[in-house]
Amino acid sequence: MSRPTGRVLTLLELLQSGGTRTMAELADRLGVDGRTVRRYVDQLVDLGIPIEAVRGRYGGYRLGRGYRLPPLMLNDDEALAVLLGLIAGRRTGLATAAGTASETAAAKIRRVLPERLTRGLDTVLESLAFTKPSGEPVTPDAEILLTIADAVRHHRPVSIRYTDRDGRRSDRTLHPYGIVNHSGRWYVTGADPSIGENRTFRLDRVTDARTLPGSFEVPAGPDPAQRVLSGFATASYRYEVTLRIHGTVEQIRARLPASLASVAEIAATTGQAVVAETSPTAGQDPAAERWLRVELRAERLDWLPALLAALDRPFVIERPGELRDLVVALADRLASHARRT
């Protein structure tokens, strides 16, 4: 295959992967200049492949909507890898489309696998177990997922129609920083320019998404996954719990993950707290045990006494007072059981 022909096929493969590819990106991936990229695009258009030119700062080329890809050719290893990925994604809550879509896709691949590979796949599946996701897996709409992912990649604002957990519907503008899968659910996190605050939304509750004109700059700071986890830890709940625990960050995180609680240093002179994971006290050994402030929010308190007992570290309850009563009650019950034995 001649090099120009190979580059044309590579260009088609890049465009088939979805989204808009900038002229600079295509030229870099193909190892040619912009004029040559345009010539390759013209060759694909002459073959009847609909390629759209996108103007603007982040403009480039993309494959026309609705274009059906030619038959996909996979070797044995590739087909087996795709099939295992579909099965694992469905069972662990990573599917991005309705369950029937992944099931029918898997069935189509199984039908064309050689018998020896089918037997090998069945052997793997019989010996493979999946842990249950902590939340009920919920799949987002594929078109909405792709629209928001494209906006994340090109730093473009989006307009979304959202239904919150109380059933209230609203139209919002979002500067999306990233998409995160956590415990079987998909989230988009970013800034709401109307209120100047960071927000996180469940993608399965988004019923419509449209890319808006313009662009935005992603600020420095935590990555999208950290933003989602910290958002869970600071969400509004019935109780606000503040503790002082003597130990290391690793010991506390073993029982209180970042999605549940924040952990901060306690400055000896001011009593103020600074985030322990990112700003340790100068000269402080990260593995050294010291007093750390832990804050979390919860709808119920009855699960916390047992967790604190399992942590097995000295602690002080700053608030709420109800938690102290529950800890004392648990200690009395344990002591009573021990005496009875």
- pLDDT value at residue 1: 42
Owner of token pair 């604002």: 157
287 in Cβ contact with 294 (< 8 Å):
no
Handedness of CA 117, 119, 122, 123 (dihedral sign): negative
CATH topology match: 3-63 vs 142-232: no
* Six token digits for residue 158: 């989006």
Measured in degrees and rounded to the nearest 5, phi and psi for residue 23 equal -60, -45
pTM of the model: 0.48
pLDDT in tens, 301-312: 989 999 999 999
| CA separation for the pair 67, 121 (Å, rounded) | 32
Instruction: Tell which residue, 256, 324, 322, 327, has the closest CA to residue 292.
Output: 256
| CA separation for the pair 180, 172 (Å, rounded) | 19
- pLDDT value at residue 136: 60
Query: In b/e form, how buried is each residue of 227-239, taking b as 16+ CB within 10 angstroms?
Result: bbbbbbbeeeeee
Instruction: Tell which residue, 238, 248, 260, has the closest CA to residue 307.
Output: 260
Query: 3-class DSSP state for residue 301?
Result: coil
Which CATH number is 142-232's, of 2.130.10.10, 2.30.30.520, 3.40.1390.10, 2.40.160.20? 2.30.30.520
The gap between the terminal CA atoms of the chain, to the nearest Å, is 82
* Six token digits for residue 198: 């960071």
**How many alpha carbons fall within 13 Å on the CB side of residue 318?**
11
* Regions of the chain short of the pLDDT cut 70: 1-3, 58, 66-75, 91-101, 130-138, 232-236, 267-287, 341
Strand partners, 290: 247
- pLDDT value at residue 99: 53
* Sheet hosting strand 290-298, strand order edge to edge: 273-275, 261-266, 290-298, 239-247, 315-319
CATH fold label, 3-63:
Arc Repressor Mutant, subunit A (1.10.10)
174 in Cβ contact with 191 (< 8 Å):
yes
List the domain boundaries for the chain: 3-63, 76-127, 142-232, 239-340
* Six token digits for residue 46: 């002459």
